[in-house]
Structure 1
Amino acid sequence: MTLSDTLSNTLPTNAPSGGLRTLARVGFAAKGTVYGLMGLLALLAATGQQEGQTADKKQAVQTLQSLPGGPILLGLIALGLLAYIVWRVVQAVRDTEDKGSDSAGIARRLGYAASGLLYTSLAWYAAKLALSGSADSSGNTQQTLTARVLAWPGGDWIIMLVGAVTIGVGFYQFYQAYSGKFHKHVQSSNIPGGQQNTVYRLGQIGYTARGIVLGIIGYFFIQAGQQSRATAVGSTDEAFDLLASMGPVVLGIVALGLMAYGLHMLVQAKYPVLKV
């Protein structure tokens, strides 16, 4: 049996082309950088640095501005996130993972697209910083959108549903970490055998930390729906603040977990485990 025969038997029917895999790898690198910075800033806050101020994704990206070659770095992040968005959308439309067209398959494919489109605002923010040196981050877009939805008939239920879905995504991170499927994906990748266990553990820690943060954000949405109060919603920054209120050790552990997730994404940029 030839190599091409082996690949045709193991890859999905609509397996990603070389170009799509490149988009995925560039996207993973950008995503990993953002999460690594966010985790680092949270860790610094937990250890009493930067006056205890944590950071969300936009603030993490903004820290690149002060580095040598900041505009170039920001431009690369913007392009990387754009690549990630395109890959996720194409992954959904072309069904590169052969999820099918039944209800479960459609749900997974919509999840791929949503996973990419969530980074649209961050990619635009990084691009504006790179091109003009400034970008408007004032106000809270999340709270503004929540307020609009709450004004709709049944808006409070919609917001609570968003919260429930977000918590569900958080639990799915735990499932990815501990179900065993993720371990199989790592083992079937091109990662050298001696490094696979390290990559697997990094992924487990990272997915767990990400699941915790998403669970907290989902809780904020449910509170906003129950109270019909848009200001109750919060982003990663507010989730960090809640963790910090539990003590610097708690925040520090989750921060290290997000740094591990960032490192795991960077590993995926080199050795793609595309079934994620």
Structure 2
Amino acid sequence: MVDKSEKVVWLARLGFAVRGLVYMLLGYLALTTARRDNVDDGAGDVFAFVAAIPGGTIVLFAAAAGLAGYALYRLSAAVFDIERRGSGFKGIAHRIGYFASAIIHFAMAWTAARMASGARKVADDRSSAVAGNVLDLPLGPTLLAVSGLALIAAALLQAKSSVTAGFMKSVSSAAPAATCWIGRAGHAARAVVFALIGWSLLRSARSESGGEVLSLGGAINDLRDMGAAFSLVAAGLVLFGLFSLILARYRVIPDPSPRRLKF
């Protein structure tokens, strides 16, 4: 009989696989389609692409489950420190990055589930609408600013991982030989995208206007005028997707059972 902790581990592995497919398709769409200011929201485009294929609804429900499982895994890493990062400055920075990742992937899971249930693809201004709702809350600008700082912290960690290849500490030695270089390129590309989204949240908090906020697709679109740099980032996202698929098989996932968790 499979216990709850094993189910979480398998959901996390499914989440790595789904994340991989999302990023590969995201990079592919960025490289092969023209700018679409009115509809491009990144993950939403990917899910719309999947919904159009035979059996797409079933795939989307599986994607939603996988992304939710991955988000729970990242949330456990942030709150309970299952990755054993500790409570020092570097450990807290890593855990803030995990929390930001959890929020992003919960949102992606929600989008996939809604589209699997028949909802139309949400336009790119959805991020702005959500930010506007947050700004209406007490301390709304502060919440947006904290979210922006969390994403920028995550971007810095991604950039550091690209240089040091520290992510390989959590990858099995049985992984393919090219995993390190694929991961480095992928982490560098994701660092750029996370930094753009985080900076847009800080601008939005300062101006108290949700219109400043970039979605995943919006952040990529912002790079389109940069020519080769845009192509490199888009290709890097494809490689990050491939890296995630490798992690689905070879990632060393700590035991998330309650007896191993620390507050």
Q: Alpha carbons of 1:56 and 1:105: their partners in 2 closer, same or farther (altered >3 Å)?
A: same
Normalised by the length of structure 2, the TM-score is: 0.81
- Greater mean alpha carbon deviation, residues 57-66 or residues 226-235: 226-235
2:72 paired residue among 86, 96, 109: 86
Is 1:65 the counterpart of 2:51 in the alignment?
yes
What is the one-letter code of the residue matched to 1:266?
A: L
Q: Which amino acid aligns with 1:23?
A: L
With normalisation by structure 1, the TM-score equals 0.77
After superposition, give the CA deviation of every residue in 1:131-185 in whole Å (9 maximum; x if it has no partner).
x333462573432333344456765455344333322221110111212422444
Supply the distance in 1 between the matched residues of 2:119 and 2:161 (Cα, whole angstroms). 37
Equivalent residue for 1:95? 81
1:122 corresponds to which residue? 108
**1:30–1:106 distance in 2 versus 1, CA, 3 Å:** same
- Separation (CA, whole Å) in 2 of partners of 1:158 and 1:78: 26
Larger deviation, residues 166-175 vs 91-100: 91-100
Residues 1:26 and 2:17 aligned together = no
CA–CA distance in structure 2, aligned partners of residues 87 and 218 of structure 1: 22
Amino acid at match of 1:40: Y
% identity of equivalent residues: 32
1:202-217 matches, cutoff 5 A = 202-217=182-197
Out of 152-161 and 62-71, give the one that drifted further.
152-161
CA contact (8 A) 1:170 1:212 kept: yes
Deviation, 1:107, is 5.8
Q: Which sections of structure 2, spanning at least 5 residues, go unmatched?
A: 255-263
Aligned to 2:35: 52
Deviations 1:51-105 (A, max 9, x none): 4335511221111011121112112211211221232334445532233456765
Deviation at 1:208, TM superposition (A): 0.3
Q: Secondary structure at the match of 1:52?
A: coil
Gaps of 5+ in 1: 1-15, 46-50
Q: Kindly indicate whether the alpha-carbon contact (under 8 Å) linking 2:148 and 2:202 is maintained by their aligned counterparts in 1.
A: yes
Alignment partners' CA distance in 1, 2:138 and 2:113: 37
In the alignment, what sits opposite 2:200? 220
Is 2:96 aligned against 1:140?
no
Between the aligned partners of 1:96 and 1:68, the Cα distance in structure 2 is 39
Measured in 2, the distance between the counterparts of 1:209 and 1:146 equals: 24
CA distance in 2, matches of 1:125, 1:180: 31
Alpha-carbon separation, structure 2, partners of 1:133 and 1:152:
30
CA RMSD of aligned residues (A): 2.8
In 1, the alpha carbon distance for the partners of 2:121 and 2:223 equals 27
Paired residue type of 1:242 = D
Which of 216, 235, 238 does residue 259 from structure 1 map onto?
A: 238
Q: Note if contact 2:170-2:251 (Cα within 8 Å) is conserved in structure 1.
A: no
Residue equivalent to 1:76: 62
Please say which of residues 93-102 and 236-245 is displaced more in the overlay. Answer: 93-102
Of stretches 31-40 and 115-124 in structure 1, the one that deviates more from structure 2 is 115-124
Pair member with larger Rg: 1
1:115-194 pair list within 5 angstroms: 115-130=101-116, 132-135=117-120, 137-138=122-123, 140-151=125-136, 155-156=140-141, 158-186=143-171, 189-192=172-175
